[in-house]
Chains A and B, each alone.
Chain A
Amino acid sequence: MAIRRGRGVAAINYPTGMNLGGDPTQALVHSTPTGNFMVTLSSVDLGQGMKQIMAQICAETIGVPTDRVVIDTADTDTGPHCMGTFASRGTHRAGNAVIQAAREARQVMLEVAAEELEVNASDLETDGQGNILVKGAPQRSISIFDVALSAHFKRGRSISGRGMFLIPRSYPEKETGAMKPSTCYAHACTVAEVEVDDETGEVTVLTVKNVFEIGRALNPKMVEQQLVGGSWMGISHALYETTEPYYPSRDHGGTDFNQYLMPGPGDLAETEIIVLERPSADGPFGAKGPGEMCANPQIPAVANAVFDAVGVRVDTLPITPERILRALKAQAAG
């Protein structure tokens, strides 16, 4: 009887978005009289930080600091249609819609600035700090604050834009299954290191090293929170979680957090996250959807590490101590 160590690897890809009924999201952007920007959506923030990322995408596109952008989302009386937050689609679909809307608003803003500065709009650029400058002559400038005032009170222009992103519906071909179910793919490779107690069947995940390729880390800190959380969930899926512990029997299902098992703070693996960025052709600034992908590779990596440690395969999730012990007994019985 001993504590045995093993390691396992898994590599995966993950589709961004869904395509069952077409995959649309829309956005509206407008400026206030003093040059702040409102992004109106009906997209839902589940806690992953969608509002923040939409603000950064809008700010980058218009050329203002993020704190000049306010997100108004998920009121069906005001927000244009969004398919929903699922299928790793939120950042990708809504982000593209926000970019389109913000570009249209920016164009009006530059046209008003051009009238004020008596130049062509194509000769102007933003400094990212809230000002519009003449290219090559930065001393000739106007603040976005003043441009918005002029648009509203002097020129009668609406600094606003409409954005739409749609993946048209794809119908799977009946006989071959040819279909276009999603757009760009995120990637991952995870190496997990475990210890298995061959007397109790208990597994301790020592380290989990995740490499994720996500197109573009739009906000690296938020990417990190998403990926660390996902990695924890993957380990939880591998070793702990189910509502039906003796599936297909319906008995013994947990009804609260005392009975529904998940790894707690004391069970956390040492987690390493490495991010690569190969920008996608169709993503906002190249971003792909990392939200679901990040919880997947740990499951097989842990399963393979358990085998590497004790030489038995548990091909049924979750990989519980009971299942490991039964497999070890069967192996010993030969």
Chain B
Amino acid sequence: MELRKDYFADVRKDGLNEIGQPRPRLDSPGHVTGKTAYFSDRNFPGMLHLKMVRSPHHHARIRSIDTSEAEKHPGVVRVLTAKDVPHNVYTILILIQIGPEDETVLADGKVRWKGEAVVAVLAETERAAQEAAAKVKVDYEVLPAVFDMEEALKPGAPIVNEYHGQNYYLYDSGECRKVRFGDVEAGFAEADHILEQTYQSSPIEHAPTETTGCVVAPEGNDRFTCYTNTQAMFFTLDNASIILQMPGSKLHFVGGTVGGGFGGKVDVIVEPIAILGAKLTGRPVCFIYSREEEMQISSPRAAEKVVIKDGVMKDGRIVARKVTGYTDAGAYSRHSPYGAQKGAAHYPGPYTIPNVWIDTYCVYTNRTPSSAMRGFGVTIGDFALEVQMDKLARLIGMDPLEFRFINAYRDGDMKAHRQPTEGAALIECMQEASRAANWPVAEKFMAMSSYRKGA
């Protein structure tokens, strides 16, 4: 790595004692010698293992659940179904009034994705829990499922989630989050060229080294300690408090050392049910995802479809940009309504464009609920935007890097979501990339600055 101190030296105070110094990490010796303690290193006498019975169907009505055989299985201590969960229908963002509550802790009457949790089995050993889970009989009536966002948005499509009533999230602004800036149609009318393109991604797994999980121990005084690898301690505690209808003072969460998160450990999935198991049995409980569960059950990054229509002038100026983004939330909201909204604020990218129209939709389908992941709401948008920029440059016969200099935002420029640009540095990054990659651009671009308008 190279620190290029010559850029922005006039606005930076260097020469501090501790800041800017490459101090060795205090936790790295423990990490690399295998001595760091993670949540699953906690082991308590009498600890039970929790295994989930999961839906084999993408969409089905539950006619009946028979747990009698499972309960008789040697080593089984308790079997939990929806009726055991105090507040079974929840949504994590209800903490900040982003409803409706649309997801069940344990399926009640319906499953909406393949892998959805239906019954929790608590047993003395992992093996006993696994064997007993296989003995739970669930009678399903399979329903038509919808996997494609376009299909889901058509009239007459199967309704994925009745708590929403339609296959998209309803914002206060309607069926999508909108950004309107300038007059996009007037911009298209004056453009020399118009280019409309569609981009698509598929779900992506966080693939942390350490799978999602927690270990819960009763403190013996009606309080429960939950050792967890959540990325957000109080967010998880507060959601658990709502689901379990327990005062927060009865809950004690310990964490903070996590073997990789990447956004995959903020869904509050394992903790509430494990605490409930500990409460109902009076014994410690561990619930740790297998690698298979991490891969296919835990939330992935959402698949997205992005449609970008641009109006561009022969001289390289983008005069209008219209973006329609679709986020595949899967069967439940989790964090997706926010991700789609974050996308609306991020388009049209780090460029100053006078006329912008953005619509972002959060769409429900019968698949594993997607949620937050590194670059939430932005990563796939950046892929679409920057491939589109490359296509536009080639369309007008301009160097792709020079084309970006022409449109790059600078201090003071108004963004589409009506925030003035501050602290811009896109131009300097591109100047340095031009040097580092030996990709020469015209001198006038090398003379530009993010500080002010002008050459």
Contact = CB atoms under 8 A, between A and B. Distances in A.
Contacts of B204: 237, 241-243
B197 interface: yes
A145 interface: no
A10 B386 contact: yes
Given A77-B252, A82-B233, A178-B418, A317 B18 contact: no
A84 B233 contact: yes
Given A76-B251, A304-B390, A13 B426 contact: yes
Contact of B7 (A181, A241, A277): A277
B422 A184 contact: yes
Interface string B236-257: 0100000000000001111111
A283 B205 CA distance: 31
Contacts of A10: 382, 386, 389-390
A209 B177 contact: no
Interface in B152-190: 172-173, 177-181
A45 B257 CA distance: 5
B18 A56 contact: yes
A52 B295 contact: no
Contacts of B378: 14-15, 292, 296
B425 A187 contact: yes
Interface string A182-211: 101101111101000000000000000101
B442 interface: no
Contacts of B178: 174-177
Given A51-B27, A209-B437, A318-B202, A42 B234 contact: yes
Interface stretch (A113-121, A152-160, A216-224, A325-333): A216-224
Given A83-B235, A222-B25, A317 B292 contact: no
7 cross-chain pairs, A with B, having the tightest CB-CB distances, nearest first = A74-B256, A84-B232, A21-B96, A177-B179, A300-B386, A191-B437, A128-B17
B75 interface: no
Given A51-B27, A83-B235, A276-B7, A45 B417 contact: no
Interface residues of B, number: 128
Interface of A: 7-15, 18, 20-22, 42-47, 49, 51-52, 55-57, 59-60, 63, 65-66, 71, 73-77, 79, 81-87, 128, 169, 172-182, 184-185, 187-191, 193, 209, 211-213, 215-224, 227-228, 230, 233, 237-238, 241-245, 247-250, 253-257, 260, 262, 272-281, 285-286, 291-293, 295-297, 299-301, 303-304, 307, 313, 315-318
Contact of A277 (B5, B96, B98, B179): B5
Given A74-B233, A187-B429, A250-B367, 16 more contacts: A45-B27, A56-B19, A71-B26, A83-B235, A128-B17, A177-B179, A188-B429, A191-B437, A219-B21, A273-B1, A278-B423, A279-B11, A281-B423, A300-B387, A315-B197, A317-B202
B349 A248 contact: no
A224 B3 CA distance: 10
27 contacts: A10-B386, A11-B386, A13-B349, A20-B96, A21-B97, A51-B26, A60-B16, A75-B253, A82-B234, A84-B233, A179-B345, A187-B350, A209-B436, A216-B19, A220-B22, A221-B22, A237-B204, A241-B204, A248-B149, A248-B303, A255-B291, A255-B296, A256-B291, A274-B1, A277-B12, A303-B386, A317-B380
A60 B18 contact: yes
A21 B379 CA distance: 22
Interface of B: 1-5, 7-8, 11-12, 16-27, 31, 58, 93, 95-98, 114, 147-149, 172-173, 177-181, 197-205, 207, 230-235, 237, 251-263, 265-266, 291-292, 295-296, 300, 303, 338, 341-342, 344-346, 349-350, 358, 365, 367-368, 372, 374-376, 378-380, 382-387, 389-391, 400-401, 404, 408-409, 416-419, 422-426, 428-430, 432-433, 436-437, 439, 450
